[in-house]
Structure 1
Amino acid sequence: MTLQVFRRSTMELRPLSQLAVLLLLLVAQSACTVRFEIVENTEADETIGQLNFTEQDITVLPCPNLVTVVGNVLKTAVKFDREEIIQLNETRDNILHCTAQLPGSVEDILITVLDVNDNVPRFSELEPVHVLNVTENFNIPNPIQRLEPHDLDNGPNGTVDFHITAGNEEHFFYIGPPLEYEGPDTNRLELFFNRSVDHEMHKIFNLSISLSDHGTPQLSSTQIIIVDINDLNDENPIFIMSVFTFDVEENHTFGPENPFGKVMAVDEDSIPSTMEFSLINENFSPTDVFDYVGLNGETGELYLMTTIDYEADTSLRHFQFSVQVHEEGMEAKVDIARVVINIKDVNEDSPEIYVHIHENSIQENLKDFKILLLRATDKDGVNEPIVQVYPPVSFSSRTVNQLTSITINESLDREVLDYAVFNITVYDQGQPSLASKLTVELFVLDENDNPPTFTEVEYNFITVENVPLDHVVAKVEAKDPDAGENGSVSYTITGVTPAIAEKWFSVDSTTGDISVKATMNYTLASSVTITIKAEDNGTVKNYSTNATTTTVHITISPSITFKPWSYQEHCIPKTQDTLTKIYLEFRTTEKNGLLLYEQSLQGESFMLKIHEGQILAVTQNIIQSRFDEFDVSTNLWISVLYDFREKTLNVSHSEEADLKATLGTHETARCDDTTDSTSQTFYVGGIDAFSHLQNASKYGSFVGVIRNLFIGSVLVDLASPVRGENTVHGVLFTSQPKCGGSEMTCSGPHHSGCLDYDFESHCICSGGFNSHTCATEENYAPIQLSSSSKVKVAVDYALFVDILQRSGLVNPTNNLPVTTTNSGRRRRRSLTNTSNYQLVEFQFRLLRESTGTLLYSKTGSSIHNLEVRPLVSQNILSFPVRLQEYLMHV
């Protein structure tokens, strides 16, 4: 940068080296003039010099307030400032003129004040920060500011150099002499523009001008000049881009209130102005573009004038036209831009799927089977559809030219998956993505590749021997997961053990029901094992497994008919399980009867009985449970379940009792020693009249049929009691009443009642023995005796004595029972029981043979004959005789 330096000289001064610090008298002076020199800024009361007169000689003091005279010494009265002295004297030199008025004369005193560089150079008439407002495009070469440096010092101290040090980097300014010549002594310079300035490019300049003198020490200052370039309305409005491109979605809402874009222009002038926009009929397409696009002339906003459908008309996907802008009232100053509008496709159409199904079924175990071919399209064009398949099986897909084939890779097992649903989803690539869905059903066809399988390895059932023919006693089930005939199972019997039971059962080939085809005989076989084969009905079997078989175990439980005054005594091993529950089934027409009695050696007892048509569970003569919801004496099968732990009694009708569901597994067990502490003894249907259970003998015996007696899980073999009387193997108790009908009534002088059981006679004779007619002599069941047999009889006391007297066994004159021995001696027995029934024991002494059979033959009410016949076996029997109503034989 070239600095223009200018120097200003005020007056010539002698060098300071020639000045003395104290006043120096000039060698040469006139007689009337005294000259002194003093350095600027000398403090007050400093000696300036000596006068040739004293202060008494002075009538008028010279330069009052500046100097004083003390004696003949001239001193400073104040601090001498050269610039102030010049201002006071209104002179431009640095000599102070003082005149001393003496008597008769005037003495001139000239004091030269030697300059000290103590003033900073500045520009006259400028503030330290001076602001210039200049309009842009200022007329060059006119100056923009006068620059007149000023320094109060003189000589070199007052000579000023200045130049621009900052803010003129682009050389817009320079300092030079005035355009008009003002003479050689002028020290004024001016600030000029080097070139024209545009407000839109430069709005303000901050110039720094440095000023410095030539004094020692040198003093300097900085002048700040702010040049503010004022704007002129000299610029045209200009679009911010030459081409405006807008992407507008189809179906954009039309109307001025819904603009899709805006063309924008700027005016770089800072002076407010209004711009106007308009369409130009040139460079446009299609030709009717302005039927679809509108422009807001004030805001430049563009909008659609109607709805545009991208798919409806391909010619309306692109628009092109021009717009112009100008300032209001200045139509000549315009700018033009081009507008391009691209109508964008909106993803409004879901993909469309076209499917060709090769087969909607597939054979199981078949691999690599092509099931369908589909084609997916999308009206939105660029949104290329993508196919996704969600099958439940492994598959592969291949797409060629928008055709996708779906192939099943794995072999399907119909028993695992017989019906497959393929959920096909086709979605496009638009934003947001739209999808279409399709469901394809595939049926898996069966192949006979599975053998039937029984639901259980073994089956266990309980039945009674006298069930009617065709009665279902067991059921097996085999399952085959194949379909149709391949899964249809047929059952056949392949073996029966023991062989004697082969004709007893048959199996339904379709249902697996095992029914009775011939009467079962418990005495021949109490348990039967049947082997059942199951095979499917498929014509082709694609498996190597042999036909499936299972084993069915059928336990035959006998039904026992209990006649009046009958009982059974049983014994089973005692376990924790036998103390849990009791289950049995019965049928009867009687309102009362003892079903079961159990008494331990400790004397604790349990009784299950029928009382007035209700079921009672009694422990130690205390009713524990009672069931009275319905009458059990209706000749229907009744099931009874008593739980010792819960002390609950459940009674229900039981034509088809599900023993397995009720009792679970079962076993059979038996013992013969009723006195063993490890055994459990109980009576069924009644009590031995001559037993030691005197407290139970008062309960009447049960008349009817009992079957399926369980003590815990032990199935009691009712056909094999330890001992018993008056019971018949089988169901002899009829289901159809024989009493009450016209042909079945028991009438005549010797009949007193009727019972519904299938014996030879159901009528009760008035004498106590039942027979067909109650009028003829009939033989009755034998009493087997040995030579030392004893007979115990429980009879009505009065009638018993009468019978014994007639038979000659007792003394006619004594009504007490006696014991008769073989030697003929008779011992009177004392009666300890005053009830109607007494217990009597006697021995026969009329036997002619060591063994034989005693037969009762009855005519009227007397026993008159004894016959001896050969015995089949020898044993001792007890029998109850009730003569109050009728006498029942054993």
Structure 2
Amino acid sequence: MAKMSKLRLPKWRLWITTLLFCMASADVRYSVPEETKTKYFIGSLSKDLNLDSDRLRFHKARLDYRRYKRYCEVDLDSGNIFVSERIDREMLCGTTSPCLMHFEFILENPLELHNVVLEVQDINDNPPVFPKDSIKLEISEAAPTRSKLQIACARDLDVGMNSVQTYMLNRYVDIVLKSSLDRETKGENSLILSAVDGGNPPKSGTVVIEVFVIDVNDNAPVFSQPLYNTRLFENAALGTSVIKIVATDVDEEISVIGQMDHEKSSSYEMEVQAEDGGGQTGHCKVVIEIDDINDNAPVISVKSLKNQIPENIPPGSEIAVINVKDQDSGENSRVSCSISSSLPFQLQPYIKSYFIITTTRSLDREQIENDNVTITATDGGTPPLFSNLTLNIQVSDINDNSPTFELQTYSYSAYISENNKPSTSVCSVSAKDPDWRQNGTVLYSLVPSEVSGVPVSSFLSINGDTGVIHAVRSFDYEQFRNFTVKAVARDNGSPPLSSNVTVKVFITDENDNSPQILYPVPDGKSLMTEMVPKATLSGSLVSKVIAVDADSGQNAWLSYQIVKSTDPGLFSIGLHSGEIKTQRDISESDNMKQNLVILHVGL
């Protein structure tokens, strides 16, 4: 019999349990049974966190679900948290108990972060299930009474009292031999085994056990030690040998057959059973610790962002909240964050894995309209891993610039000829405003004033959009020669900003006035009389014509000439002086009456 057992291949059965560890600290903790209906009330965040529910929308209250689905939501009108999607505890946590989900309740203005832990309670919604519908069990006829025979237990996905309660012991069911066996008397037995959980009402599962009595075999498998411990890096290649275990001179090797991830499972516990052909068994435990390697770069997530900020935002104002996590452990998970020091922002640690970005100095949209803020997160591994995230921050405009005239420090001088036509363009003023859109839109107007007691609007108008100044009326140089007005440039901001500039208007003269004779004084006609002595000698001053011209400059210069006379050779007139003199002596033979026609001309 012993020889026969050596020739038979040993049977190995491995049960693997993943051990997950978590640590939680929370501001509030709630519990909810799995499989509850949507809208199921969980608790009141506003009450438990002492928050004003009327201000939740203003503070942009929200839940950050991290890696979880949106299993629950917050009613921003009441502050109540409720179930929004079916929760299956077994799918969410497996056999891990308690089953905890971690959320963060975030409020802005000012920033508040509250940890919320939701425990999903198990209900008895799964019956015990055996690995197989039937189990073949071979027992030696020499097995002593009270011998214990192990078989794989039923598995219940539920936990606690809702899991299998009747026979669970180290994950095996012991079948106790009550009397000796005789293969010749009865070689086969059939049993029905039931597994019952502790739910209310309880659920059960059954399996048929076929017991076969075999010849004597007293060589039960024996392991060299009851507990094997080993360590393995999570990036171990497929096929890597993990550990060798020994039972009754037979070496067996456990090797890697799948991808391991320390972040999902930091250790594995195996129960190894060796069974010979006679039904004799031995078992040992294998614990494999999975060591972390730096295989995860930090993950940067934005929890709050003001991607558009006004340029007058005070230094120290919060514009973003980020969360940085590294799934590795130990030094591999220690994270440092930084942004460029040349930017008008700084990155500050907040709480736990949170950072806030604040302004460090005043902003000016007219210089920089937007900033790209690149956040670099680096872990403490060797070599370190890093990740980058770029935030685009738009700087919005405020009306902080007045329109500026091109000749702000001077004044505009405009010249227009008299007798102009109304609507004639006098000059154009121009102002610029570096602000954006309506804040930078410039409108022009004239400051209300008077010119010689007459409103300036009777003389000039300005195009509000272009700044072109037009004459409203025809000007007369002889009435006034210049005047001054002020033009205003006003933006369309709220409140509007403005500036003004002086415009000096000069009227230029035109030759639009005929000379007027002042002497000799006309008698109402164009005929004037002058008495001259008869014995007047040559070169004597006989008379002088004095005329004036209301124009100015060259337009007022006059010239004189005799265009007709009774005796053309008797008199002459000074071209510019208007003096009439004799060219020869007046004799008795000359006519007693001499007629002179004098022309005075403006140059």
Query: TM-score when scaled to structure 2?
Result: 0.41
Larger radius of gyration: 1
Higher relative contact order, chain-length normalized (CA < 8 Å, sep 6+): 2
Q: TM-score scaled to structure 1, two decimals?
A: 0.29
